[in-house]
C-alpha cells in the first residue's frame, strides 16, 4: 500500500503544476483581451465556451470526472472573463451607462403622486422626503402611480417596496420591470400604530375598532385584552382614521399612524397597541428620468439567468471580483415561464464608480434582460 505522505506529496506536486498552468492560461487570456479591445469584440462568446466545455469533457474517462471537469472549466472561463473585463476597464473601454449624474433631487415646485389616501403611511413618506412645497395627489393603485410618472402627469412617485415585518411588496418589484421608471431615492417610515378616537373619548366608551387587516393583526396582543370590541378591516389605516373622524362617534376607534391622527385631528388614546418596536416600511422615490445623485451609494438591478447549474453563481461572482458588497437578493417568477425566476439585487456603489461599471458590464453580457432599476 502506498504511504499517505507520499500520496499527499504527489498531490502537492500536481497542485503546483496546476497553479503554474492556471497563471499561464490567465496570461494568454490577457492577450485575448488586448485583441478584443483592438477589434471591438465582446468578451463573452457563448458558442466558443460551449464548444470548449464539450471538448474538455470528452477527454475524461468516467461520468464523475466529466461533471467535475465541466464545472472546473466553467469556473476557469468565468474567471478569465472577469480578468478581461478588468483589463478593458483599465484601457478605458468600460462604456457609458445611460444615466445622468445630478447634485440633488428636485424637491420644490414639482408634482408628486402617492398610492393610497391622505393620511396614509405613503402620504407620510412623501411629506418626510419632499416637505410641503410640492403639488401632491394620490391614486388608487401602485400601477396608477407608475403610469402617472411614465406619462408625465407626475414628476415623482412615492411607493412602498418593503416592510421589516411582512417582507417585500411583490407587485412593486414586477412593476419596476414593466415600466421604464427608475428609483432615485428611498425613505424609511416607522410604522408606529396608535389608537385614535374623536377628541374627548374615554377608552371604556370604545366598542368598534377599524384598521387595515395587517394593522389589526400586528395589534392582536392589545386587542385580545379587549375581546368585546368589534374588529372591522378596511382597505387602509388612513381610511379607518378618516371614517372615525367623519362619523364623530365616540364608540369608534381606528388603529393608524400618528401622522393620520394629526391629519384627521383625532385623539391619541396614549395606550400601547403594538409591541413590535422595529416595524418599518421602506418607500422608494421613482421617476421616469434616468438620473442618480452624485452621493448615491446603493444600486438596484434585476436580471434573468439561463436555467442551468451555476448560472446564478456566475452572475454574483462579478460582485466578488469587483470588491462590491451585495446587500440584498430577491426572486420573482417570470410570467409565462414555469419555475424560472427573475432576480433582484441591491449592492453598494455608485454608477460613476469603475468597479460598478465593470460588474454591470459583465452581468449585462452574461445574463438575460439585465436592467438597472436605480442608483440612490
Tell me the C-alpha distance between 18 and 69, whole Å: 13
pLDDT of residue 12: 96
Active site residue 22: no
Q: Does one domain contain both 309 and 250?
A: no
Q: Does one domain contain both 4 and 48?
A: yes
Residues of the chain under the 70 pLDDT cut: 93-95
**Residue 3, all three cell numbers:** 504511504
Q: Does one domain contain both 51 and 13?
A: yes
Tell me the C-alpha distance between 165 and 298, whole Å: 22
pTM more than 0.85: no
Catalytic, out of 114, 130, 283, 347: 283
pLDDT of residue 94: 59
Q: Does one domain contain both 289 and 169?
A: yes
Place of cell 420573482: 332
Alpha-carbon distance values, 285 to 170, 238, 275 (Å)? 17, 21, 29
**Residue 116, all three cell numbers:** 393610497
Catalytic, out of 197, 201, 237, 281: 281
Domain membership of residue 274 (yes or no) is no
Active site residue 73: no
pLDDT of residue 306: 84
Place of cell 416595524: 279
Q: Does one domain contain both 170 and 219?
A: no
Provide the CATH number for the domain around residue 247: 3.40.190.10
How many Cα atoms occupy the beta-carbon half-sphere of 3 within 13 Å?
3
**Residue 12, all three cell numbers:** 502537492
Beta strands in 41-108 (DSSP E): 100-102
Question: Are 142 and 181 a contacting pair, CB within 8 Å?
Answer: no
Q: Which residue segment(s) compose the domain that 118 sits in?
A: 100-191+280-293
Provide the CATH number for the domain around residue 74: 1.20.59.10
Amino acid at each position: 500500500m502506498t504511504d499517505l505522505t507520499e500520496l499527499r506529496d504527489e498531490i502537492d506536486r500536481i497542485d503546483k503544476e496546476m497553479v503554474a498552468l492556471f497563471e499561464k492560461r490567465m496570461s494568454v487570456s490577457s492577450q485575448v483581451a488586448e485583441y478584443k479591445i483592438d477589434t471591438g469584440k465582446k468578451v463573452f462568446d457563448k458558442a466558443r465556451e460551449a464548444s470548449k466545455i464539450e471538448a474538455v469533457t470528452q477527454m475524461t474517462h468516467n461520468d464523475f470526472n466529466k461533471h467535475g471537469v465541466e464545472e472546473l472549466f466553467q469556473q476557469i472561463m468565468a474567471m478569465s472573463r472577469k480578468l478581461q473585463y478588468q483589463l478593458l476597464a483599465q484601457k478605458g473601454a468600460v462604456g457609458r451607462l445611460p444615466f445622468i449624474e445630478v447634485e440633488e433631487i428636485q424637491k420644490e415646485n414639482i408634482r408628486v403622486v402617492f398610492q393610497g389616501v391622505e393620511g396614509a403611511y405613503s402620504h407620510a413618506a412623501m411629506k418626510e422626503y419632499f416637505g410641503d412645497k410640492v403639488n401632491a395627489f394620490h391614486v388608487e393603485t401602485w400601477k396608477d402611480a407608475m403610469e402617472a410618472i411614465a406619462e408625465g402627469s407626475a414628476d415623482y412617485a412615492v411607493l412602498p417596496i418593503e416592510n421589516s415585518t411582512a417582507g417585500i411588496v411583490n407587485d412593486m418589484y414586477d412593476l419596476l420591470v414593466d415600466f421604464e421608471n427608475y428609483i432615485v431615492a428611498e425613505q424609511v417610515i416607522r410604522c408606529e400604530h396608535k389608537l385614535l378616537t374623536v377628541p374627548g373619548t374615554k377608552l371604556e366608551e370604545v366598542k368598534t375598532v377599524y384598521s387595515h387587516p395587517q394593522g389589526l393583526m400586528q395589534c392582536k396582543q392589545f386587542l385580545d385584552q379587549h375581546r368585546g370590541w368589534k374588529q372591522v378591516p378596511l382597505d387602509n389605516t388612513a381610511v379607518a382614521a378618516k371614517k372615525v373622524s367623519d362619523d364623530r362617534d365616540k364608540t369608534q376607534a381606528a388603529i393608524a399612524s400618528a401622522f393620520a391622527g394629526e391629519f384627521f385631528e383625532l385623539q391619541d388614546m396614549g395606550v400601547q397597541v403594538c409591541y413590535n418596536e422595529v416595524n418599518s416600511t421602506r418607500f422608494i422615490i421613482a421617476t421616469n428620468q434616468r438620473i442618480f445623485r452624485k452621493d448615491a451609494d446603493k444600486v438596484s438591478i434585476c436580471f434573468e439567468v439561463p436555467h442551468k447549474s451555476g448560472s446564478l453563481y456566475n452572475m454574483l461572482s462579478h460582485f466578488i471580483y469587483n470588491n462590491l458588497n451585495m446587500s440584498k437578493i430577491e426572486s420573482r417568477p417570470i410570467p409565462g415561464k414555469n419555475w424560472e425566476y427573475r432576480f433582484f439585487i441591491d449592492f453598494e456603489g455608485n454608477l460613476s464608480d469603475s468597479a460598478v461599471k465593470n460588474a454591470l458590464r459583465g452581468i449585462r453580457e452574461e445574463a438575460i434582460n439585465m436592467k438597472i432599476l436605480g442608483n440612490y
